[in-house]
Amino acid sequence: MKIDRITGNVLLSDEVLGPALTSELCERSPIGFRREFVNNSWETYRGRIKDSDGEFAVAIFVKNNRISEMHLAKIQGVGSWASWSEESELQKQMEHNRILKATLGAPPYHFSWGEVFSVYDSKSGASEIIIRYAQNV
């Protein structure tokens, strides 16, 4: 996975996801995003992507028909609470950090188009990469 420092586009082998993404483009994407949630001006789309860095779960948050945030989490093995551990989530965060450093350099990741974070949230028990698009918030 590569994130373009200039545009904020996530460049995959056969797809580009980024600030120009709309609800209609999510629904027509060959990724096969599922529309899961609609609340007033917000929509959520979920799917999976594969590229040279592995397979990722993707959540796209759309506000007023424009992408606001994209969350990516590397899929490692069979995901279930029975096999979950904080150690494995922290290892996943380290892998996310490695991917971001390889594509964007050293943090912090603040750009004119938005910002990128690698986080571990102990409340949800998940590690993910968050891309927040400033012009669409």
Q: What is the mean pLDDT of residues 126-133?
A: 96
- In the prediction, which pLDDT does 3 show? 95
> What is the pTM for the complete model shown?
0.90
Is residue 137 pLDDT above 60, yes or no? no
Question: What mean pLDDT, rounded, does the chain reach?
Answer: 89
How many Å apart are CA 63 and CA 91, to the nearest integer? 32
What torsion, rounded to 10 degrees, do the Cα atoms 113, 115, 116, 117 define? -170
Where along the chain do its domains lie? Answer: 2-136
